[in-house]
Structure formats: C-alpha cells, structure tokens
Amino acid sequence: MTQFTFDAPTVIRTKRDGGRLSDEAIDWVIDEYTRGGVGDEQMAALLMAIFLRGMDRGEIARWTAAMIASGEKMDFSDLRRSGRPLALVDKHSTGGVGDKITIPLIPVVAACGGAIPQAAGRGLGHTGGTLDKLESVSGFTAEISKDQIRQQLCEVGAAIFAAGQLAPADRKIYALRDITATTESLPLIASSIMSKKLAEGADALVLDVKVGSGAFLKSEAEAWDLARTMVGLGAAHGVPTRALLTDMACPLGRTVGNAVEVAESLEVLAGGGPADVVELTVALAREMVDLAGLDGKDPAQTLRDGTAMDSFRALVAAQGGDLDQPLPIGAHSETVIAPTGGTMGDIDALAVGHAVWRLGAGRASSGERVQHGAGLRIHRRPGEPVASGEALFTLYTDNPARIGPAMAELDGAWSVGDTSPAARPLIIDRIGTGLEQR
Ligand code: URA
C-alpha cells in the first residue's frame, strides 16, 4: 500500500501555482486542519490560493466529502410520527442581504407536515446568518443536543441548531473565510454548504442560490454554475436536490440586520410582511413540500391560518426562546432623508450589507460578538413613491461611532428619480427539475 506524506507548504504551493490537489492531499489537509496540525495561517493561505485558482468538480467533490468525514453524520431514519417515517427536508441559502427567509420558511414547512433538521450558520462577510438573527430572541439557543434535535423533529417538526459536530472542518474554515476575504469562491461556497447539509440527515434539499450585487457570486452564469455544482453534489450523495436562482441585487424585504429581521419574519408569519419575502418563502416551501412528498399541503395557507406561526412559537419555545420579550433595537439611530420627491430607484444590496456590517451586525474578527440590535430599516423600496423630506432609511446601532462609516457605505447606493427602475423577477430559474432554462 502506498503511504502518502504531505506538508502544508507543498499543498499550498501546488494550488498557488495552479495545480490540482490530489484526493489524498485534500483528505490530509482537511483532517490535519480539523485536528490542529495545520495552522490557521496555512489554511488561510490555501483558501486564498483556492479563491484565486479555483478547483475542478472532482476536487470540489473530494473537499466536500473530506469535510463531511471530519465530523459525524446525523441519521433520523428511525424516527416516526404517527407511526410513519418523517418527511425530512431542508433548505440552505448561498447568502444574501436581508435574507431572513429561513425564519418563516422552516415553520411553514413544519406546518405542512415536514421535518426540518436545519444546521444554520452565522453571518459571513456582508451577509447575515440565521443563528445571529435568532439569538436576538431572548433565551433562544442553537446549542442543542442530538437528543433534543430528535425530540423536536418528532414533536415540533423542526430544529435549528449550530452545525456543532457536523462538518467541524467547515466550522473552522467558514470562520477563517469570514476574516480573510475568501468568501466569494464557488468551490468554497459549494463545499461549505453541501458538507453541512449532507451531514445533517435530510432526505431532500432545496437551495436558494442568490444572484446580484448582494450575492457572493454576482453574475447569473456563476450562480448557475454554483447551483449545478451543488445539485450534482446532492445527487452524488443520494439526496434529491433542487435550486432556485433568485435575485439579490436589492435587499430582501424592508429590514437588514439581526433582531429587525426577526421582527419582519414575525410579520410574515402573522400573514403580512413584504411581498418579496412572502413570495420567496412560499416558492421555496412549495419546492420543499413537493420534494418531501407532502401532497395536498398549501404553504401559503399556513401563513393565513396561523399554523405556521404556531409552529414557530413551538420551535422557539423548545429552544428556550421567549417571543413575548421585546426584541432588542440599537440605542442610537440615524435617518436618511429624501432630498427630493419622485420614485425610489434601485437599492444596492452589497452597499446595504456593508453598511449593516459596519453598524455591528457582523464580525470583523473571529468569535467577535455581534450586536443583536444593529440593523437598518428600508422605508421606501424600489418603485415606491417618495415625498421630499421623508425618511428613506433608518440605521440602528449601540455604538454611535459606527453611524458615520455606515452612512458612508450608503453613499451612491440608492437614488430618487422620475421613473421606476426596471422590474426584475425575484425567481430567475429552477435547477434540478429538468425544466431549467439552459
Ligand atoms: N452559506 C454557507 O454555509 N457557506 C457559504 O460559504 C456561504 C453560505
């Protein structure tokens, strides 16, 4: 049997110079990094080399498998509800601005009879994370045991948890990417998402792949390639996977941040909320319900009849959260006023994401605490009428020194004019259905 010996500088140099990483080199570097034998500085250099040089499909598949193998895989196939196996299905987004969709979506699908084992993430770069948002609910914890996850899947229909022992290599690499400007990489995004999702024990998966300035991959062609790669990884592991390609040129909804996004999600669960958030929640829920074989359930109805709200309350209570406590809001605020009347033009999602990150909603160093009350409210969305002197945006933070840099990020990110911006579809394509447009 051949013995392979590796060292980090050689692996880094291979990728830095545009070479291909062998299966053995990938297995070695992921395993050593997880166990601490390869240092953060070496992994950071390798991530930058991957960012600049890319990986082929074979390398991505092996990198994903090695990250799955770095931890345990969950298996819920023995669980039963009313004597029947659970309809285990999950969703993941590639990351956006104002993307709070997981929060209303999970209870909608649970109310339709699905069981959702959701391994969720924290903020990454300019995008928010479901865990940072939900932890703004007083008492809510995502650090729950495997036994509790199993119990919740049977009794509540969902559990939202920190990936923990699932793909621990991703947990370390994700945090490192966040502070080394190596997030916007197709191989790193695809392997990060699919390692967690394939380890968490869902039988089917729906992906929300973002396109536009607020997405990590900006062009439709790159997003399409990312979607195909992830759908392929799912299929290779026997997990039916579909993706929706959705617009992220403009933030989703009217709030961006942590607690403000939870508040907006509660509006959606109460049957109201912004039209785009409702549309995307229902579209993703329909894909999940369909893939899970939950015939006859209408996700939109669960928002109207309150059953999705009931599911959310049960989920949050099971994880220690108290929705009757007020959600935090930054102690300092600043409002952007319309200089003139007219129609709101496009709002640049990337600039808004950066502004909210500067307000304290995200991290600049690993392990930093986020401000749950930091965020931004969008009072006028693209195409809405604007009167001179009225509020367009309100910014919130606990640290007034953060307001200036956040306001600077918004410079040039919006406009008020005479005409409406060109309408864009929210849902651009469906991939993995055989009906995609290319
Ligand atoms: N979500 C993840 O889990 N990983 C990424 O790289 C991007 C979004």
Same domain, 260 and 404: no
This prediction's pTM? 0.94
Token pair 């990094």 is found at 33
Sequence-distant (≥ 6) Cβ neighbours of residue 263 within 8 angstroms: 255, 327
Sign for the CA dihedral angle at 94, 97, 102, 105 comes to negative
Same domain, 143 and 48: no
∠ CA 250-253-255, nearest 5°, is: 100
Tell me if residue 135 falls in helix, strand or coil.
Answer: coil
Same domain, 54 and 117: no
Same domain, 248 and 137: yes
| Residue 359 DSSP symbol | I
User: 195: part of which helix (H) or strand (E)?
Assistant: helix 186-199
Model pLDDT, residue 87: 96
Low-confidence stretches of the chain (pLDDT < 70) are: 1-4, 433-438
Integer Cα distance of 117 and 94 in angstroms: 18
Report yes or no on 311 lying in a domain. yes
Q: Which atom of ligand 1 is nearest to the CA of 193?
A: 3
Integer Cα distance of 122 and 139 in angstroms: 17
Same domain, 157 and 285: yes
Model pLDDT, residue 415: 97
Residue 51 sits in which domain range? 8-69
| 283 contacts 289 by C-beta, under 8 angstroms | no
Integer Cα distance of 403 and 301 in angstroms: 41
Q: Which atom of ligand 1 is nearest to the CA of 95?
A: 8
Model pLDDT, residue 125: 84
Same domain, 363 and 312: no
Same domain, 156 and 135: yes
Tokens standing for 54?
A: 């890319």
Report yes or no on 437 lying in a domain. no
- Of 55, 63, 91, 94, the residue with max ligand 1 atoms within 8 A of its CB, to mutate for a pocket test, comes to 94
| 76 contacts 206 by C-beta, under 8 angstroms | no
Tokens standing for 180?
A: 């080394």
Same domain, 183 and 104: yes
Q: What is the DSSP string of 166-177?
A: SSHHHHHHHHHH
What are residue 188's phi and psi, to 5 degrees? -75, -35
Q: What is the CATH number of the domain that holds 35?
A: 1.20.970.10
Same domain, 369 and 316: no
As beta bridge partners, residue 343 has 385, 417
| 187 contacts 64 by C-beta, under 8 angstroms | no
| Beta strands in 40-85, from DSSP E residues, in sequence order | 80-81, 84-85
Same domain, 291 and 389: no
Q: What is the CATH number of the domain that holds 154?
A: 3.40.1030.10
Tell me the pLDDT tens digit for each residue of 356-383. Answer: 999 999 988 877 899 999 999 999 999 9
- Of 67, 91, 171, 193, the residue with max ligand 1 atoms within 8 A of its CB, to mutate for a pocket test, comes to 193
The domain tally of the chain equals: 3
- Closest-CA residue, ligand 1 atom 3, reads 193
Same domain, 318 and 336: no
Report yes or no on 137 lying in a domain. yes
Percentage of residues of the chain with pLDDT beyond 90: 91
Report yes or no on 74 lying in a domain. no
Tell me the pLDDT tens digit for each residue of 39-53. Answer: 999 999 999 999 999
Which among 191, 192, 195, 213 is annotated as catalytic? 192
Same domain, 42 and 134: no
